[in-house]
Structure 1
C-alpha cells in the first residue's frame, strides 16, 4: 500500500519530482539506499534483505524505477519471483524508454500484480501488471499524479481522493532551495482518509506489524551534468528527518 506522488514537467529545470512512502511489514529487514550490488555498481537503491531486490532506486544514467503492490497482492507467493527484481532490471538500462520496454517483455506469469514507475528527465512511464494480462505501459501525463494500489490518479483510492486535488492546488517543491515542505507534510499525514481505518492514512502508524517504514523525496535535473537530489527518511516521516543520499 505504498504511495507515489509525481510532478512531471518535461523541459523544466527539474522535470521530475517524486515523493514516496513505503509501507511494509515492520519485521521485513531492509537497508537504506546505497550501492548495495557489486554486479550493479551504477545502481543506488534501497535493499530488501529478504528477497535481495529493491522498491525504489536511481542509476548513474538518471533513470528512476519504483514498484508498488497492487490491491490484494501484498507479500510473496510460492512459485512467484520477487517484484523487487524488476526495479533492478529497469536500472540496468541507460534510459527510461529502454527500461520500460524491457519490463513489458517479462514473463508476466512469474510475478504477482504490480504498479511501476520508470522515469528519467526525458520520459516518464506507468507500467502495470494486473490479473493474467501482459504488462501494460503508458506515458505519464504532465503535472501532478498519484499512484497507489489501484490505477494512476484513481479516485477510488482514499489517499488519492483526499490528496490529489490539494497537491495540484499548492506550491510545488523547489529542490534547489531544499523547499519540500508541502510534500513532506503530505507524506507525514496520519489522517485516516476512511474513518477508523488507519491503513488509509498516507503515513501508517506501525502499531499492527505493518506501517510506513521509510519515505523519499527525489528530484531529477534537466542538466545531465547535475546530480539528482534524493532525500531519504529512515522510519516514519512525522518523527524522523530526511537526509541526503549521496551519488
Structure 2
C-alpha cells in the first residue's frame, strides 16, 4: 500500500491504493487466514499477509504502508503483512517486538475514530488522525508530499466519501504527484498501482469495494 485516505466521522471511510511490483503474486479479498476468523483482505502470496484487512463483525479495518527509516536486521526480519491482520482482529496497535519489522505506517480505523502508528526502525509513535480527511503516504502524514498536495484537496472537497472511487483517476505514471503509479526499474521489473479498496465503517455495519486495476491491462 502506498496511499491511504481516511475521512473520520459517521460513517468513517478508508480508501487504500496498493502499489507493488507486478510480478509479486497476490489474490483478491477473502477470509484467507484461519488464525484470524472473520478477517478478510487481499493476500500477498509471497509472504502470506495483507496490505488492508477488514473485520466486518467488529467494524474495524487496518491498512499498512511501508515507511522510511532503519531496516530490521536480516537475521530477525519478519514480513510486515501480519500487522494489519492483527490490528483488525484485535483492535490494538502494535507495541512490542517491533525490531524485527522494517519501518511502517499502520492505520487502524473504527467507527468515528482512526489511529496511526508509525515505526521508523528505532521509535514508535501513535496518534489519532485529526477530524476530517487525511492522506497517509510512505512518509506518513506529510502535507508537503507532492501526492498529498495534489490530491488531498480533491478528496476533502468531495461531499460524499462514498464517491471516492471516482477520484482515483488519471493515467499511471512515475511523476511524484501521481496517485496511480507505474514505472519500470533499471532491472526491468514494473512497479505499479495494482488495486483500490474502499471501506466504510458505520454503526450499522461495514461495506467494502475492491477494484483490481490489473484486470484491463497487462501485469
Give the TM-score category using the shorter length.
0.7 to 0.9
Report the Cα offset of residue 191 of structure 1.
Answer: 6.9
Report the Cα offset of residue 73 of structure 1.
Answer: 7.9
The separation in 2 between residues aligned to 1:122 and 1:160, in whole angstroms, is 23
Instruction: Indicate if the aligned counterparts of 1:126 and 1:139 stay in contact, CA closer than 8 A.
Output: yes
* Paired residues for 1:41-80 under 5 Å: 41-59=37-55, 60-71=57-68, 79-80=76-77
Instruction: Indicate if the aligned counterparts of 2:99 and 2:121 stay in contact, CA closer than 8 A.
Output: no
2:156 corresponding residue in structure 1: 168
Instruction: Indicate if the aligned counterparts of 1:4 and 1:21 stay in contact, CA closer than 8 A.
Output: yes
The separation in 1 between residues aligned to 2:160 and 2:145, in whole angstroms, is 22
* Paired residues for 1:196-207 under 5 Å: 197-198=174-175, 200-205=177-182
CA 1:129 to 1:200, structure 2 compared with 1: closer, same or farther past 3 Å?
A: same
Report the Cα offset of residue 108 of structure 1.
Answer: 1.9
Matching residue within 80, 97, 105 for 1:107: 97
User: RCO greater where, 1 or 2, for CA within 8 Å and sep 6 or more?
Assistant: 2
* Paired residues for 1:1-247 under 5 Å: 2-9=2-9, 12=10, 14=11, 16-59=12-55, 60-71=57-68, 79-93=76-90, 96=91, 99-100=92-93, 103=94, 105-133=95-123, 135-152=124-141, 154-174=142-162, 180=163, 183-190=164-171, 197-198=174-175, 200-205=177-182, 209-223=190-204, 227-236=205-214
CA 1:206 to 1:137, structure 2 compared with 1: closer, same or farther past 3 Å?
A: same
The separation in 1 between residues aligned to 2:176 and 2:214, in whole angstroms, is 14
The separation in 1 between residues aligned to 2:139 and 2:32, in whole angstroms, is 30
Instruction: Indicate if the aligned counterparts of 1:57 and 1:87 stay in contact, CA closer than 8 A.
Output: yes
Instruction: Indicate if the aligned counterparts of 2:26 and 2:44 stay in contact, CA closer than 8 A.
Output: yes
Report the Cα offset of residue 210 of structure 1.
Answer: 0.6
Q: Which runs of 5+ in 2 are unaligned?
A: none
Q: Which runs of 5+ in 1 are unaligned?
A: 175-179, 241-247
- Partner of 1:109: helix, strand, or coil? helix
CA 1:72 to 1:162, structure 2 compared with 1: closer, same or farther past 3 Å?
A: farther
The separation in 2 between residues aligned to 1:155 and 1:132, in whole angstroms, is 23
Q: Give structure 1 regions of 4+ aligned residues with deviation exceeding 6 angstroms.
A: none
How many residues were matched structurally?
211
TM-score when scaled to structure 1?
0.77
Q: CA RMSD in A?
A: 2.4
- Partner of 2:32: helix, strand, or coil? coil
1:192-236 deviation line (CA, Å, top 9, x unaligned): 6xxxx435411113655110011111111122xxx3111001125
The separation in 1 between residues aligned to 2:183 and 2:17, in whole angstroms, is 13
TM-score when scaled to structure 2?
0.86
